Structure 1
Amino acid sequence: MTETQTTDGRVPAAPLDAASVSFPDGRYGRRREPSRRRTGTTAVLTAGVIAAGVVTAWLLMESYGQDELSERLLAFDDSVPGQVEVTFEVYKPAGEGATCAVRSRDLAGAEIGYAEVDVPADDATRVEMTYVLPVEGDVNTGEVLRCWQAD
């Protein structure tokens, strides 16, 4: 047995390359030549998409990002009928004042008390405040909605 024969005595066909294969005209459509890669165009488009994403993220952060003011509810006490004592902290720039919206709701979720509380302008950046909010109904919660810079 020679090297080119298989175990059953057949001679394997010579390997074909793609250039030597010819198909009947018109049967399989037009054969396309392999196109060259456009790595430069792909790199420029990828860099453009990344740059547009970074600019969009920066603009959204400027518009809707973290404010210089932030608030956090620490506690509320509804043990006295007709009022709720709301304790909260405000982080603000030193030397500037703020105004915070405080509210209370009942079990159904209806607002039963609302007030805008002034935070004094001083050198502290963290201010803890306790405000007694008068309410009309049975208290379920005391909340600090948001704070904004005082005019």
Structure 2
Amino acid sequence: MTEMQTTDGRAPVTADVTFPDGRYGRRREPQRRRPAVTAALTIGVVLAGLVAAWRLTELYGQTEVSERLRGFDDSVPGQVTVEFEVYKPAGAGAVCAVRSRDLAGAEIGYAEVEIPADDATRVVMSYPLAVEGVPNTGEVLRCWQTD
């Protein structure tokens, strides 16, 4: 019978090596798995995530009023005409924040435009915004429903 040898002439180490007692410390037994605890923690984390997502959607999600900028005209000195659409529930009013900025990004004009309550769900507005400087943009920041 032949023994296996490594390339340097030593006998290979086998998997059934036993260490001397007390030399390397106490040997730990394998830990018990706790699938119930892991499952409960996983379910708890998922539920907490769902509750947080629901709450953030309630606070910051899609509102009933939305806006869309159609364009702006800055050809008249001292003013920017901002044209935008507002989508709102029928019978409800809204307020939209409109602003203009210069080339450096500084705000040079701001107004809150009221959209009256009527039966229309889509309103096109054209608002002449007074500015202090040379405008570069005309923007609708956001719109919200009035009570």
Q: TM-score, normalised by structure 1?
A: 0.79
State the shift of 1:112 in Å.
2.8
> What's 2:3 paired with?
10
Q: Equivalent residues in 2 for 1:42-121 (5 A)?
A: 42-121=38-117
Mapped pair 1:31 → 2:27: yes
Distance 1:36 1:109, change over 3 A: closer
Equivalent in the alignment of 2:134: 138
Highest CA radius of gyration, 1 or 2?
A: 1
- Is contact 2:99-2:109 (8 Å) kept? yes
What's the CA shift for 1:147?
Answer: 1.5
Aligned length: 141
Change (3 A) 1:119 1:34: same
Cα RMSD for the two superposed structures: 2.4
Aligned equivalents of 1:11, 1:102: Cα separation in 2? 85
C-alpha change, 1:17 and 1:113, in structure 2 (3 Å) is closer
8 Å contact from structure 2 (residues 64, 145) kept in 1 = no
Describe the superposition over 1:47-101 as per-residue Cα deviations: whole angstroms up to 9, x where unpaired: 1111111111111111222222221211001112222111001121221001112
In structure 1, runs of 5+ residues without a counterpart are none
Percent of residue pairs bearing the same amino acid type: 72
Going from structure 1 to structure 2, the CA distance change for 1:49 and 1:83 (only over 3 Å counts) comes to same
Determine whether 1:147 maps to 2:140: no
Take 2:142 and 2:3, find their aligned partners in 1: how far apart are those partners?
87
Distance in 1 of aligned mates of 2:78 and 2:4: 103
Name stretches of at least 5 consecutive residues in structure 2 with no aligned partner: 6-10
Q: Which amino acid aligns with 1:37?
A: R
Shift of 1:10: 2.9
Contact 2:84–2:124 at 8 Å: present in 1 too? yes
Runs of 4+ in 1 over 4 A off after TM superposition: none
SS in 1 for 2:41: helix
Give the Å deviation of 1:136.
3.1
Tell me how far apart the structure 2 counterparts of residues 22 and 115 of structure 1 sit (CA, whole Å). 82
Query: Residue 35 of structure 1: CA displacement?
Result: 2.7
